[in-house]
Amino acid sequence: KVGEGLRPAADRRHSMAVGKATVAAVNVLLWYRKGLRVHDSPALVAACDGAAHVYPVFCLDPWFVSSGSVGPLRLRFLCEALNDLDRSLKARGSRLLVLRGKPEEEIPRAIRKWGVERLVFESDGVEPYALARDVAVCEGARKAGVTHIVETQGHTLCDLDELLRECKGQPVTSYSVFQKHFASVVRRAPIAPVATPERIPSSATDSNCGASLSPPTVEEVAPDLAGTTSLFPGGETEAL
């Protein structure tokens, strides 16, 4: 059936109401993946909620480079987007921390090092690799000491799992039926932008987050393009 196996039942939804007050301030790791932005970001809002320190992280996964589907132009676009996100976070008292390596290894390692208790990320994966990666990261995070995992919606207009439940796992054969299902989902969870935090709780200390975690340069990820002009720069600022 359509949708079967998309997300293991144990990891389909680690939810927490955005804005809900927490009992005590905690250290939070915000795992950036596709949604490299600060505006209208439910994941960022959820990370800041009740946080003592927020560690915004992006993991440069070697799998994407070795897959052969990522060329130098795409890597430069990613580099520009990461550096733009870093500037936006710095304007709000934070910074982007870029890990280099497999997410299922690097994120649990960072969680242990920084004493993180909550992991937050935006639901954005439907590819088999991404789904398996998310399960592995969540399992590693729990073993590393995380007590709360928050998966928010924001990459798509509505929760894709909710759409699949509307059609009971069967293929939709007409657009009118899809519209009906979509309308039903957004009635239960209306589409509304969230406010952008003016300030983000900073990471604990600079010693915990050294210069080696800075975003990559174009020379690092796409050396053949070093010194060339980007006709379509990456980043939220350019998009806005």
Nearest in space to 16 (alpha carbons), one of 35, 42, 52, 36: 42
Q: What percent of the chain has pLDDT over 70?
A: 85
Considering all CA atoms of the chain, what is the largest pairwise distance in Å, rounded to the nearest integer?
Answer: 56
The pLDDT of residue 149: 96
The pLDDT of residue 7: 43
Burial class (CB in 10 A: 0-12, 13-18, 19+), 234: buried
- Bigger pLDDT: 95 or 68? 95
The pLDDT of residue 5: 38
Q: What is the mean pLDDT of residues 111-130?
A: 90
Query: What integer best gives the mean pLDDT of the chain?
Result: 85
pTM of structure: 0.84
Find the Cα–Cα–Cα–Cα dihedral 210, 212, 217, 220, rounded to 10°.
Answer: 180
Please work out, in degrees rounded to the nearest 5, the angle formed at the alpha carbon of residue 61 by the alpha carbons of 55 and 65: 150
Nearest in space to 152 (alpha carbons), one of 53, 46, 8: 46
Q: What is the mean pLDDT of residues 222-234?
A: 86
The pLDDT of residue 78: 93
Q: What is the separation, in whole angstroms, between the first and last Cα of the chain? A: 39
Q: How confident is the model at residue 91 (pLDDT cuts 50, 70, 90)?
A: very high
